[in-house]
Homo-oligomer: A and B are copies of this chain.
Amino acid sequence: MGKNKNQIGITVKKNDDIVEWYSQVVLKSELADYSAVKGCAVIRPLGYSLWQGIMDYFNDRLKILGVKNAYFPLFIPESFFYREADHVEGFAPEVAWIERKSEGEERVAVRPTSETIMYDSYSKWIRSYRDLPLRINQWANIVRWEVKDVKIFLRSREFLWQEGHCVYETEEECDHEAELMIKEYKRLSEDLLAIPVVIGKKSEKEKFPGAKYTYTIEAFMPDGKALQSGTSHNLGTGFAKAFDIKFKGRDEKDHYPWQSSWGFSTRLLGALIMTHGDDKGLVLPPKISPTKVVIVPIINKKYPEQNKKVLERSQEIKKSLELAGLSVELDDREEYSPGFKFSHWELKGVPLRMEFGPRDLENNSAILVKRNNNEKITVSLDELVEKVKNLLDMIQNELLEHARQEVDSRTVNPQTYDEFVKATTQDGCLAIINHCGDALCEDEIKAETGGVTSRCRPMGDDTPSKGAVCLKCGKPAKYKIIFSRNY
Residues of A within 8 A of B (CB): 33, 35-38, 40-45, 47-49, 51-52, 68-77, 80, 96-99, 101, 105-106, 108, 110, 117, 120-121, 124-125, 136, 140-141, 143, 145, 157-158, 160
Closest 5 CB pairs of A and B: A45-B68, A40-B73, A43-B71, A97-B99, A37-B73
Given the known inter-chain contacts A141-B141, A145-B101, please indicate yes or no for A160 contacting B71, CB distance below 8 A.
Answer: yes
- Residues of B with C-beta under 8 A to A52: 69
Indicate if the CB atoms of A37 and B117 lie closer than 8 Å: yes
In whole Å, how far is A113's beta carbon from the nearest beta carbon of chain B?
15
With A and B bound together, what is the CA distance between A140 and B106 in angstroms? 25
Number of copies: 2
**In whole angstroms, what is the CA distance A103 to B69 when docked?**
40
| Contacting pair B108 A45 (CB below 8 A) | no
Determine if B36 and A74 form an interchain contact, defined as CB atoms under 8 angstroms apart. Answer: no
Cβ B74 vs Cβ A48 within 8 A: no
Bound: A160/B139 CA distance, A? 12
Decide if A75 touches B117 in the complex (CB within 8 Å): no
Docked Cα-Cα span, A38 to B97, in Å, equals 15
Docked Cα-Cα span, A43 to B140, in Å, equals 13
CA distance A487 to B97 in the complex (A): 31
Q: How far is A425 from B255 in the complex, measured between Cα atoms in Å?
A: 54
**What are the residues of chain B within 8 A of A69 when measuring CB–CB?**
45, 48-49, 52
Question: Chain B contacts of A124 at CB under 8 A?
Answer: 33
Q: In the bound complex, do residue A42 and residue B158 qualify as a contact, i.e. CB atoms below 8 Å apart? A: no
| A42, B69: Cα distance in complex, Å | 12
A36-B120, A74-B110 are known; give 5 further A-B pairs, CB within 8 A. Answer: A37-B108, A41-B73, A42-B73, A48-B71, A96-B98
| A38, A73, A98, A101 — most chain B CB neighbours (10 Å) | A73
Interface of A (DSSP majority class)? mixed
Q: Are B75 and A158 in contact (CB under 8 A)?
A: yes
The 24 listed contacts between A and B (C-beta, < 8 Å) are A33-B125, A35-B73, A36-B80, A37-B73, A37-B76, A37-B77, A37-B108, A40-B73, A42-B71, A42-B73, A43-B71, A45-B68, A45-B70, A48-B70, A48-B71, A49-B69, A51-B71, A75-B158, A96-B99, A97-B98, A97-B99, A98-B99, A101-B145, A140-B141
User: Please, which residues of chain B bring their CB within 8 A of the CB of A49?
Assistant: 68-69
Chain B minimum-CB-distance residue to A30: B125
Chain B, Cβ-Cβ closest to A67? B45
A243 vs chain B, min Cβ distance (A): 10
A121 to chain B, nearest CB (A): 5
**A80 contact set on B, CB distance < 8 A:** 36
- Say how far A341's CB is from chain B's closest CB, in angstroms: 14
- Chain B residue numbers with a CB within 8 Å of A33 are 121, 124-125
Q: Is the CB of B75 within 8 A of A37?
A: yes
Question: Which residues in B have their C-beta under 8 angstroms from that of A145?
Answer: 101
Closest residue of chain B to A72 (Cβ to Cβ) is B42
Assess whether B72 is in contact with A38, with CB atoms less than 8 Å apart: no
Q: How far is the CA of A61 from the CA of B142 in the complex (A)?
A: 28
CB of A70 within 8 A of CB of B97, answer no
Identity of the chain B residue whose Cβ is nearest the Cβ of A157 in the assembled complex: B75
In the bound complex, what is the Cα–Cα distance between A454 and B164 (angstroms)? Answer: 45
A83 to chain B, nearest CB (A): 11
Among B36, B73, B76, B110, point to the contact of A110 (Cβ < 8 A): B110
Q: How far is the CB of A103 from chain B (nearest CB, A)?
A: 13
Chain B residues with CB under 8 A of A160: 71
A40–B121 CB distance below 8 A = no
- Alpha-carbon distance between A175 and B266 when the two chains are bound, in angstroms: 36
Measured in the bound complex, the distance between the Cα atoms of B44 and A124 in whole Å is 13
For A117, give its contact among B36, B98, B108, B120 (CB under 8 Å).
B36
